[in-house]
Amino acid sequence: MLTQSQIDAIADAVLQSMKNDTPVSAPQTIETAVKPVLSEKKPPKSKCHESRGDRPVQALEGVGDITSKEVRAVPLLDHIEDSEGLERMMARTPARIGVGNCGPRLKTRTMLTLRADHAAARDAVFMDVSQGLLDRMGLFTLETRCTDKTQFLTRPDLGRVFSPETMDELRSKCLHDVDVQIYASDGLSSTAIEANLENILPVIMEGLQAKGLKVGTPFFVKNGRVAAMDQVSEALNAAVTCVLIGERPGLATAESMSAYIAYKATVGMPEARRTVVSNIHARGIPAVEAGAYIVDVIQKILDAKASGVELKK
């Protein structure tokens, strides 16, 4: 590829040839101007070429799973002054550090990892929770007024409400006047439910029952938003309602779940009345540990008869 200085030199040479009195054809003029410029010393290679020299590019088959923890832990910088320090830093954060560059661009493996993480985030939003998981856990399914994922994303208001028929089903299948009603919902990440629900729900249920609390019938809500818990609370007259819901996925993780908890939730109540335990996933708060913590939080809410910001007063 020609540099800007070479292009300028060719243009100057062509213009100078055109000023000569001797008639010369256009192709000859251009050839005469270009040859001296191209015969000059070639420009130096970019740093990305210098760093690998004449070594062949590694075959992708040898890279392995680019999304695996082991591959992500390997720095891609060419010259590292403190490799141990960088590795310690990379082990403590999912942020993309130590990825290096090739000239002004990201390296190929970094780009492929970004695309893989983006694909995982999209899958988390658009996929459905497997019926096999719900069957294993004995959870029946209710659906909000959203008919599909597209409507769920474009009409969040419909993800907060149920049809009259669905409310009748809820009342007929669940216990009423309970201390705690807990259920799960896909929210914006079905992957979060798949990854965490089997570990967290039994811990919460057993922990609450061990405290002598009356726990409602657990179930699953498809295409649900957080505020759907308000209708559930009113219909079942639950003292505390807790929803385990998938959070919006990002490029760092698509498996993050949160628990939203409210004391005597009512439709239209302010968001400040909700208590939330977030970042529940393998690289955040492990599901089992989060479950034990949620049990303690629910007990505090029942003792204080308040949740959200009112719990801290």
Q: What is the per-residue DSSP string for 188-230?
A: T-HHHHHHHHHHHHHHHHHHHHHTT--B----EEET--TTHHH
* Count of structural domains within the chain: 3
Q: Is the residue at 276 inside a domain? A: yes
- Domain membership flag for residue 45: no
> Rounded to 5 degrees, what are φ and ψ at 63?
-80, -35
Q: What is the pLDDT, as a whole number, of residue 69? A: 74
Q: What is the pLDDT of residue 23?
A: 52
Q: Which residues contact 152 (CB under 8 A, 6 or more apart)?
A: 144, 146, 158, 159, 223
Residues 34 and 65 in one domain: no
Regarding whether 87 and 144 lie in a shared domain, the answer is no
121 within domain boundaries: no
Buried b vs exposed e over 251-284: b needs ≥16 C-beta within 10 Å? eebbbbbbbbbbbbbeeeeeeebbbbbeebbeeb
Q: Which two tokens stand for residue 312?
A: 């801290």
Q: Do 34 and 64 have their domain in common?
A: no
Q: Is residue 230 part of a domain?
A: yes
| Domain contains 212 | yes
End-to-end CA distance of the chain: give it in Å, rounded.
68
Q: Can you tell me the distance from the alpha carbon of 60 to that of 109, in angstroms, rounded to the nearest whole number?
A: 9
- Do 92 and 224 fall within a single domain? no
Question: Are residues 81 and 165 located together in one domain of the fold?
Answer: no
Whether residue 102 sits in one domain with residue 133: no
155 and 249, same domain (yes or no): yes
Question: Which pLDDT value is given to residue 289?
Answer: 97
Positive or negative, the CA dihedral 153, 155, 160, 162 is negative
Q: 220 is written with which tokens?
A: 């699953």
Q: Is 119 a domain residue? A: no
Co-location of 21 and 137 in the same domain: no
| pLDDT tens-digit profile, the chain (313 residues) | 566 676 777 777 766 766 665 554 555 555 565 566 556 545 455 444 444 444 444 444 455 677 777 777 788 888 888 888 888 888 888 888 888 888 888 888 888 888 888 888 888 888 889 999 999 999 999 999 999 999 999 999 999 999 999 999 999 999 999 999 999 999 999 999 999 999 999 999 999 999 999 999 999 999 999 999 999 999 999 999 999 999 988 877 889 999 999 999 999 999 999 999 999 998 899 999 999 999 999 999 999 999 999 987 5
98 vs 73: CA distance, rounded Å: 9
Do 155 and 230 lie in a common domain? yes
What DSSP string describes 234-271?
Answer: HHHT-SEEEEEEEPPP-SS-S--EEEEEEES--TT--G
pLDDT at 73: 77
Give the distance from CA 35 to its chain's centroid.
55
Q: What is the model's pLDDT at position 217?
A: 97
Task: State both tokens at 108.
Answer: 């190929």
Strands (E), the chain: 141-143, 180-185, 220-222, 240-246, 257-263, 274-280
Looking from the CA of 72 toward its CB, the CA atoms found within 13 Å total 17
Same domain, 272 and 152: yes
- Residue holding tokens 């990440």? 189
Query: What range defines the domain where residue 216 resides?
Result: 128-312
* Whether residue 16 sits in one domain with residue 161: no
What predicted TM-score, i.e. pTM, was given to this entire model?
A: 0.74
Residue whose token pair is 């019926």: 131
CB atoms within 10 A of CB 116: 14
Distance, CA of 267 to CA of 161 (rounded, Å): 10
In this structure, the number of other CB atoms found within 10 A of the CB of residue 17 comes to: 16
- Which pLDDT belongs to residue 12? 74
Please state, in angstroms and as integers, the Cα–Cα distance from residue 42 to each residue in 2, 200, 275, 306, following that order: 9, 63, 65, 74
Shared-domain flag, residues 248 and 136: yes
Q: Is residue 113 part of a domain?
A: no
Distance CA 111, CA 114 (A): 5
Q: Is residue 54 part of a domain?
A: no
